[in-house]
Structures are given as structure tokens and as C-alpha cells.
Structure 1
Amino acid sequence: MVKSRFEQNPAFSTEAPLVTIAAATQDANIQRLMAYLDQYTGMTPPILPIKTTDQLVLLKPKQLTLADINAGDLVLTTTSGILTTRETLVHFKQRLANPNFVQISKHALLNLDHLLALSESFSGAMTAKLSHDITTSVSRKYVQSLLQHLAL
């Protein structure tokens, strides 16, 4: 069980407070908590505007299954289809600001809410099976991070 308490300190603003974690050891649970706090940015936007070549689409994050860079374009696989935009993955991840989205390679993010299964692949990589019959590769560099998000 996590316990919290507030300590007033005018040296820190409400936009950038200092959070200290006290525990006997820094185990996997503490590391997950720290990772969660590091990703915390306040409110997750309820709708993301996505600019495609011919329209502005308002996307709810829960509809997004996979974000992947392909030939310089950001390809967003959603529950209702595919959107393509010129935004970088780094910028998109910052705008998304949602802990349910995990980076699985240098060029891709997946939504944990749509992850159905993981299977071993070659050279330490894994294959992720997502909803709507989507499969994607998880780079071996990102496997450990994904497993931590899944509390494994």
C-alpha cells in the first residue's frame, strides 16, 4: 500500500513539485512508481487533434492502437482506420502524455489497452499482438521497459 502526505514548501511551485519516495529498498515496484511519476504531466488530453494532408481529425487516445514511423510519416493505427501525419514520434508522445502508451522501438508506440499477447521473436525481440489483428515488433532494447509496464 502506498501512503502519501503533503508538506508545504514555498521553494517548489505547484507546477513542478518535488516528490520523494521513502522505502527500505529500491525494488521493481519502486522503479515502476518512479517511472510513473516521471511520466506524469497532469491531465491527459481527452482529444488529440491530428492534422492529416486534407483534414483535421479529433482522436480520442483510447481509439489509438499503434503509432509508427514509416518513410518519415507518422502512421496512426486506430480502431476505425489509419491516419497519416507529418508529426514526429517524440512530439506526438509528448502531446499524448498518457502512461498507457509505451515505446516499443525507436519508431513506434503501442497502447497497452489494445495489447492482447506477446510472443518471443528472434534475437531477444518480441512480437506484440494487438486488437483488430495488428501485429508489431518490440525491439529487444525496449522489451524490458514493456515488461515493467506490464508488472512482469
Structure 2
Amino acid sequence: MSIIFRANPELADGEVNVIVEAASPTPAVSALMRSVEAIGQTASATIPIETANRLEIVRKSAIVTIAVHGEDLLVRTTSQTLTTRNRLVKLMAKLPVRDFVQISRQAVINLRHLESLEASYSGNMTARLSGDIRETVSRRYVPALREALEA
């Protein structure tokens, strides 16, 4: 592995671009990219969740799942379920990529709360999480979940 620094005067102060080059996308490359992305995220241990009538401050480590439900998002924590009108992509951008993995177009889980994976029908799997929460892992997202578990 080689590490090269190149100054780019076109970038704004404080802006950093990281380019990872490899012959092919391997698990090691993915793990490196997740690590770099995690470094770039804020170090805050909490995240604000805006509900209909208040702003809840939630510990990121307490979030078990985030799932789309109609036009709302259900954020399930170890102690409560919050409903927000936020978008899944926007909320995911504020979470550490080493802990949170998308398991379908509608759901994200916290790997720290994952207890087991069970085979389901049509190549899907069922993720069993703390608090007896179950989420379906779409077969399209199974490889990414397995890779995240190996990292």
C-alpha cells in the first residue's frame, strides 16, 4: 500500500478528498473505505431526532433500527420508538458506517444490537436484534451485511 499527498488548490479550506485505488474491490478495500469514512464523521455520540412536537437527543449507540413506514421513519432505540419525517439517507449520513448497515431499501440496523441472522425465503434473511426486534434483510443487501460483519 502506498499513501500519497497531493495539494489541490481548487478545494476549499478544510475540504479533503480521499481516493482509494485498487485492482479490484476486495473486502480489505471496503474495510479501508469504511475506516476513512468513519474518521470523517463527527465524533458526537448523540443525534437529534425531530418528532412531531419536540427534538429528541438520542445516543447513537442506543439506536437499534431505523425503518421507513409510509412517509415516516421509525427510529427504534433500546427504550423507545420515535417517529420522524426525516429521510433515511439523510439520517444515515449522520451515523457511523462501522456500526450501521442498510439491510433493505427501507431499513438500517445497528450491528452492535444484532443477535443472529436466520435464513428466510427467496434468499432473504431475518435479522434478530436486541429487544426482540426482527427485520428482513433483502437478498440484495445480504452480501454487504456479511462483509460488514467480517470487518
TM-score (normalised: structure 1): 0.83
Q: Structure 1 CA distance, aligned partners of 2:2 and 2:62?
A: 33
Return the offset for 1:108: 0.5
Structure 2 stretches of 5 or more lacking a match? none
Amino acid at match of 2:27: A
Q: How does 1:4-19 map to 2 (within 5 A)?
A: 5=3, 7=5, 9-11=7-9, 13=11, 14-19=14-19
Residue 140 (str. 1) matches residue 139 (str. 2):
yes
Q: Structure 1 CA distance, aligned partners of 2:42 and 2:2?
A: 20
TM-score (normalised: structure 2): 0.83
Moved more, 74-83 or 36-45: 36-45
Amino acid at match of 1:75: L
Return the offset for 1:81: 1.1
Q: Structure 2 CA distance, aligned partners of 1:90 and 1:10?
A: 29
Q: 1:44 touches 1:98 (CA, 8 Å); kept in 2?
A: no
Q: Aligned in 2, Cα 1:12/1:18: closer, same or farther, shift over 3 Å?
A: farther
Q: How does 1:111-130 map to 2 (within 5 A)?
A: 111-130=110-129
Q: How does 1:3-152 map to 2 (within 5 A)?
A: 5=3, 7=5, 9-11=7-9, 13=11, 14-20=14-20, 27-37=26-36, 41-151=40-150
% same residue: 34
Q: 2:104 touches 2:138 (CA, 8 Å); kept in 1?
A: yes
Return the offset for 1:53: 1.2
Q: Structure 1 CA distance, aligned partners of 2:148 and 2:97?
A: 13
Q: Structure 2 CA distance, aligned partners of 1:39 and 1:105?
A: 21
Q: Aligned in 2, Cα 1:12/1:28: closer, same or farther, shift over 3 Å?
A: farther
Q: Structure 2 CA distance, aligned partners of 1:7 and 1:133?
A: 48
SS at match of 2:74: strand
RMSD: 2.5
Amino acid at match of 1:16: V
